[in-house]
Structures are given as C-alpha cells and as structure tokens.
Amino acid sequence: ELKVEQNPLFLSMQEGKNYTIYCNYSTTSDRLYWYRQDPGKSLESLFVLLSNGAVKQEGRLMASLDTKARLSTLHITAAVHDLSATYFCAVDGKSGFSAGGTSYGKLTFGQGTILTVHP
C-alpha cells in the first residue's frame, strides 16, 4: 500500500525567509504532484513532476523529485504572506488493476502542510 508522508505538518515562517517542505513516499513512482489549498477552497494544481530529477519553478516556489530516494521537496524562497496556504503532495502509484501496470491517476495524498507566513 502506497503511503505518502509530508513534513513538517505545520510551518510558521517570517516573510523573507526560506524553507523546504518534504514529501516522502513508500513505493516506486515517478509521478508526483503538488497542490495548494486556500482556506475554504478546493485544491489548485501547482506542479507536475514526471521523472527522476525533475525540477519545476514558479515564482518563489520550486519543486523537485528524486525517485531513487522516493522524495520530493517544495522549496520556498523569500516567503511572502500570499503564500500562506495548505500544501499537499500526491503520488500516482501504479494501479494493481492491470497486470500491465496501467495508471489510472489514482493519487495518494500526504497529510498536508499548513504554511503561515508572518510579517
């Protein structure tokens, strides 16, 4: 059974500081997604990482994937208040349905990291 663990679960940062959120997963996968959720809202896709060594950047956020270590990181550079949200990673594990290992996009999510950026 695929398990996905994020840490930290709570992160309080000062504006201007850097920090990293970690996402570890338990079985082989080379597809990982990061989502953002604002309070009371649904999930918004941030990054799609589809291979070992993939790195994506958008503004102050950068995500990377190391499939050998089964680890993805979401790095925050010079945090600003607008980045306050909950961040989820999700891993697309091979479905057991098909002997050929066809993926159905069955995503297993981490617990989420609640990020608060203070002035």
Does position 60 interact with another protein (CB under 8 A)? The reply is: no
- List the one residue from 12, 14, 45, 116 that touches another protein (CB under 8 A): 45
Tokens 């079985």 belong to which residue?
27
Q: Could you give the CA distance from residue 77 to residue 61 in angstroms, rounded to a whole number?
A: 7
CA neighbours within 13 Å on the CB side: how many for 2? 22
**Minimum CB distance to another protein smaller for 18 or for 103:** 103
Does position 11 interact with another protein (CB under 8 A)? The reply is: no
Per-residue DSSP letters for 35-95?
A: EEE-TTS-EEEEEEE-STT-EEEETTEEEEEETTTTEEEEEE-S--GGG-EEEEEEEEPPP
The CB-of-101 to another protein minimum distance in angstroms stands at 5
- List the one residue from 14, 18, 38, 50 that touches another protein (CB under 8 A): 50
The CB-of-10 to another protein minimum distance in angstroms stands at 10
- List the one residue from 24, 48, 62, 80 that touches another protein (CB under 8 A): 48
- List the one residue from 39, 68, 105, 119 that touches another protein (CB under 8 A): 105
